Amino acid sequence: MDLKLITQRVQSDLQYIKEFTATPGSGCTRMPFSQETRYTAEYLKKVMADAGLEVREDCVGNIFGVRPGKDRSLPCIMVGSHYDSVYNGGDYDGIAGVISAVELARLLRDEDAELPCDFVAAAFMDEEGCRFGTGYFGSKCMLGQMTIEECRHYTDKDDISVYDAMKEYGLEPERLSEAAWPEGSIGHYIELHIEQGPVLDAEQTEIGLVDCIVGIQRYLVTICGRSDHAGTTPMDMRQDAVDIAAKVISKIGDMAREEGKGTVATVGYMKVTPSAMNVVAEKVDFSIDIRSSDNEVINRIAEKIRKELDEETGKTGASYSIDSKLTITPVNLNPGMLDIMEESCRKRGYSCRRMPSGAGHDALAIGQTIDTVMLFVPSKDGRSHCPAEYTPYEAFAKGILVLYDLIGQLQPQTGSCEK
Ligand code: GLV
Ligand code: MN
Ligand code: MN
């Protein structure tokens, strides 16, 4: 198999897709259910079909391309990632994993390989959760873990719900349950992704074999104070939502630092209402994202934050609400699949190491119930979720070859399933 050819094909796809951004010149902004996801979806469907796959887009915007195996009743091997992005993100996060899955299909076609079970290339809608503050929407729909009520409940900055955004995009949220795959129909899930951190690049290691992914909890907090004149309202007679939010937020980073062991907590979004220089703020919305490999640590920080909110709002008679947007526990990835990848790296002469993932991935949602692994390729200087994100195309090609070895050696899960 020709590393150069794989590199060229991956490069050509990724360079084409990077044009589908709402912020040209300022990185990739591909929000779920936007024109940019539509253009990307159409391109993905085309390259999947060119790779000889049976292609379909489901009722929530996930795209699947299937190469039939010898026994179609066996649980499939699925390889994929997401095709949405963060605001002003990079050109590789998620989409490189989707294109790697498509390239695997091209290699299977080129080699005329017949797998015992179906091979499925998957492109998931809305993994990032950036628009609605949630995460893993497409993969959760595939797993049957999303409800219409949740689609109605979660809204974006402009108060557009997932439900309405889907409708506007031409999808039918009422059919959400049809996106769920029958239990047992996916035997293995595999995801290639950029590392999004500095370890591999700093060590000059070519492949990361991910053995666990952190758990995550996400919240949207709303502090409700009272708007008043900034010049005339004495400091002890205010319900200043910004003052309260700032006091709570200033402690969140330290809560994570105190826990240590890789624990992180981030307030990445804030909205002040009415947001004027000379008006005491009536309302502040802010997000919280807490991550750790120990679920107890996440619970403890969430609890501490609630206590701080009680205390700080209580001092002035202001109030708050807290909306849970995501709760997902840490996951250990499949040791047998990791061993196969390690052996492949050894045989191919690629340096590799086992490592945890501090970033969330579709593999985090899927790995809760299905045998799953992830493979990381280096991110230059560890930069990600920003336009500076960069990975040389050849690095993807090497990862793809390791995955090719893996899918060739996987024993199909036993037991047939309805599809
Ligand atoms: C996705 O990249 C996340 O980790 O939030
Ligand atoms: Mn991301
Ligand atoms: Mn990603």
225-283 tens-digit pLDDT: 999 999 999 999 999 999 999 999 999 999 999 999 999 999 999 999 999 999 999 99
Alpha-carbon gap, residue 68 to 163, rounded angstroms: 33
3-class secondary structure, 123: strand
Mean pLDDT of all residues in the chain? 97
Domain end: 327, 360, 383, which one?
327
Q: What is the pLDDT of residues 305-360, one digit of tens each?
A: 999 999 999 999 999 999 999 999 999 999 999 999 999 999 999 999 999 999 99
Q: Decide: 191 in ligand 1 pocket, CB within 6 A.
A: no
Q: Are residues 323 and 334 in the same domain?
A: no
Q: Which residue has the tokens 């299977």?
A: 108
What band does 417 get if pLDDT is binned at 50, 70 and 90?
A: low
Separation of CA 257 and ligand 1 centre (Å): 20
Q: Are strands 215-224 and 319-328 parallel, antiparallel or unpaired?
A: antiparallel
Alpha carbons within 13 angstroms on the beta-carbon side of residue 264 total 13
Identify the CA nearest to 157 among candidates 309, 10, 271.
271
pLDDT of residue 415: 58
**Is residue 104 in some structural domain?**
yes
Q: Which residue has the tokens 């501490």?
A: 304
Does 113 share its domain with 50?
yes
Q: Do 41 and 175 reside in the same domain of the chain?
A: yes
Q: Return d(Cα 384, Cα 261) in angstroms, integer.
A: 21
Q: Using a 6 Å cutoff on CB, does residue 117 contact ligand 1? A: no
Beta bridge partners of 412: none
Query: Which ligand 1 atom minimizes the distance to the CA of 196?
Result: 2
**Distance, CA of 46 to CA of 273 (rounded, Å):** 45
Q: How far is the CA of 213 from the centre of ligand 3 (A)?
A: 12
Any atom of ligand 1 within 6 Å of the Cβ of 360: yes
Residue 72 has a pLDDT of 96
Query: What pLDDT is stored for residue 413 in this prediction?
Result: 78
Handedness of CA 182, 188, 193, 196 (dihedral sign): positive
**Residues 192, 54 within the same domain:** yes
Rounded to the nearest angstrom, the gap between the alpha carbon of residue 67 and the centroid of all alpha carbons in its chain is 25
The residues that bridge with 355 in the sheet, in sequence order, are: 210
Q: Is the pLDDT of residue 102 over 70?
A: yes
**375 has pLDDT over 70:** yes
Predicted confidence (pLDDT) at residue 414 exceeds the cutoff of 90: no
Confidence of residue 393 (pLDDT cuts 50, 70, 90): very high
Residue among 325, 385, 386, 389 to mutate when testing ligand 1 (max atoms within 8 A of CB): 385
Q: Could you tell me if 262 and 305 lie in one domain?
A: yes
**Ligand 1 center–CA 223 separation, angstroms:** 26
User: What does DSSP assign to residue 236?
Assistant: G
- Tell me how far the alpha carbon of residue 378 lies from the centroid of ligand 2, in angstroms: 15
User: Does 266 map to a domain?
Assistant: yes
Q: Establish whether the linkage from the previous residue to 412 is cis, with ω within 30° of 0.
A: no
Mean pLDDT, range 16-41, rounded to an integer: 98
pLDDT category at 101 given cuts 50, 70, 90 is: very high
| 359 C-beta closer than 6 A to ligand 1 | yes
User: Which of 306, 327, 348 finishes a domain?
Assistant: 327
Look up the pTM and report it.
Answer: 0.94
Q: Which residues span the domain enclosing 274?
A: 216-327
Number of domains in the chain: 2
pLDDT in tens, 184-213: 999 999 999 999 999 999 999 999 999 999
Does residue 419 carry a pLDDT above 80? no
- Cα–Cα distance measured from residue 60 to residue 63, given in angstroms and rounded to the nearest whole number: 9
Q: Tell me: do 383 and 351 sit in the same domain.
A: yes
Helices (H), 120-209: 137-142, 148-153, 162-169, 199-203
